[in-house]
Amino acid sequence: MHTTNYIDTFIAVAEDCPISTAEIPPLKGDSKTIANLQFEKLIEHPYQYTSDDIIFGAYAAKNGITKHEMEEERAKFFSKGQACMRSSPLTKRYGWGVHSNAEGKIAIFPMESGEYQQMTGDQSLKQTRGMRSKRA
């Protein structure tokens, strides 16, 4: 079983993030994007879910997975490696940092916030960045 969870880690925005102030991901027509689904869950429930919960939850919502299919579909989903929050549009495009606490539960912070700045300098956290959108 693979996992996308981090422990005591801060994922700063990607080096090539195109904005300087965090944005709420816009809707695409009438449908929610992966970024919308991740953002809504994390902004409403900080430190309640793991990265695995957020990533699979967005996948399940986009693919119409029902409640009684969840357990089996989650096992199938994580039977192979999945992209982690470093590849989330939140860290790559929309200016949100992701903090993972000691239990692996995550919360997001806008790149212009004091909390974000504090976490980027916190030596007790493993520091990483969102993945670049373009090759260097």
Per-residue pLDDT reduced to its tens digit, 42-86: 999 999 999 999 999 999 999 999 999 999 999 999 999 898 999
Q: Based on the structure, what is the number of domains in the chain? A: 1
Q: What number of residues does the chain have?
A: 136
Q: Please check whether residue 87 lies inside any domain of the structure.
A: yes
Question: Does the pLDDT at position 1 exceed 90?
Answer: no
pLDDT band at 135 (very low <50, low <70, confident <90, very high): low
Residue whose C-alpha is closest to residue 59's, from 4, 111, 134? 4
15 token code pair? 């080096």
Assess contact for 97 and 12: CB atoms under 8 A.
yes
Amino acid type, 80: K
State yes or no: pLDDT of 31 exceeds 90.
Answer: no
Find the domain containing 58 and state its range: 9-129
- Domain membership of residue 2 (yes or no) is no
Would you say residue 134 lies in a domain?
A: no
- By CB neighbour count within 10 A (0-12 exposed, 13-18 middle, 19+ buried), where does 76 fall? exposed
Taking the model in full, what pTM does it have? 0.92
